[in-house]
Amino acid sequence: MNDIIIKTQEQIDGIRKSGHLAAQALDYAEQFVEAGVSTGFIDDKIEEFILKNNAIPATKGYNGYPKSSCISINEVVCHGIPSQETVLKEGDILNIDVTTILNGFYGDTSRMFTVGEISPTAEKLINVTKHCLDLGIKQVVPGNHFGNIGFAIHRFAKANGFSVVYEFCGHGVGIDFHEEPQVDHAARKNSGPKMKPGMIFTIEPMINQGRPGTRIDKKDGWTARSVDNKLSAQFEHTILVTETGSEVLTDIHDDYSIT
């Protein structure tokens, strides 16, 4: 494929700044995550933070999406719409997904949060999902096939008794919200295009406790839930292919080394 954008150094620097801001918005949101708080309130705080930092929440108005983040609780796989009526309770697990536009550049990241004591299964699902993302990131090297990201993720999720959501994917990102290529989280070994230095894309595996299928809420047209209403978890980073490996552009904690 030749329609995957190779970013210039200036674009890379802009996308890194935006990515760092999106990650900071998640850290800022953490203090508000507790039982009794609505996801609408958390979204308001995230929006305030993004605007105060001279950026725009990319989701607001995107294909009619109404809010500044996606907050997906328990069986919600992705695209949960924050609302004053959705109140967090003890034992909940939730993903908060933030995409910022800073000086025209997009940064996209999400991670899991927990409310009080969670079940051992929920904890295992979260840990396995984070490890799936990390295994995907390890596959980011020039010359490697995009399919090997999904191959590594699927193998590990399956070995742990979980399933990989195949109806939502990672994506090229940076100049636009969703660019080529589509980054599958379950794929055949050595399938798909090859990675080249300067490509930037997300890896954002959604891992289900039960069956892999999802259903979109008929009323709001966005909220995707697992078909069996079992738990789902997700982590997302924006990643640059370097000359020799990768840089995680949404890593503000030095969780990953630049390779």
β-sheet with 206-208: strand ranges across: 163-164, 206-208, 232-234
What sign does the dihedral 237-201-79-69 (CA atoms) show? positive
Going by their DSSP bridges, the two strands 170-172 and 105-114 should be labelled as unpaired
Sites for Co ion among residues 36-65 (CB under 5 A): none
Considering only residues 92 through 131, tell me which ones interact with ligand MF3, judged by CB under 6 A. 97, 99, 108
Residue with tokens 């900071």: 24
Bridge pairing between strands 179-183 and 170-172: antiparallel
Tokens of 16: 């890194």
Regarding 97 and contact with Co ion (CB under 5 A), the answer is yes
Least distance between Co ion and beta carbon 99 (Å): 5
User: What gap in Å lies between CA 96 and CA 233, rounded to an integer?
Assistant: 10
Q: Which stretch binds Co ion (CB under 5 A): 31-39, 113-121, 199-207, 247-255?
A: 199-207
Size of the site for ligand MF3 (CB under 6 A): 13
Q: Binding to ligand MF3 by residue 234, rule CB under 6 A?
A: no
**Least separation in angstroms between CB 110 and Co ion:** 5
What span, in angstroms and rounded, lies between the C-alpha atoms of 43 and 168?
A: 22
By CB under 5 A, residue 184 contacts Co ion? no
The answer to whether 232 contacts ligand MF3 (rule: CB under 6 A) is no
> Which CB sits closer to Co ion, 97 or 247?
97
- In the list 65, 160, 217, 228, the residue contacting ligand MF3 (rule: CB under 6 A) is 65
Ranges assigned E (strand) in 55-151: 56-57, 70-73, 76-78, 93-102, 105-114
Closest distance of CB 33 from Co ion, Å: 17
| Binding-residue total with Co ion (CB under 5 A) | 5
Q: Is 202 in the site for Co ion (CB under 5 A)?
A: yes
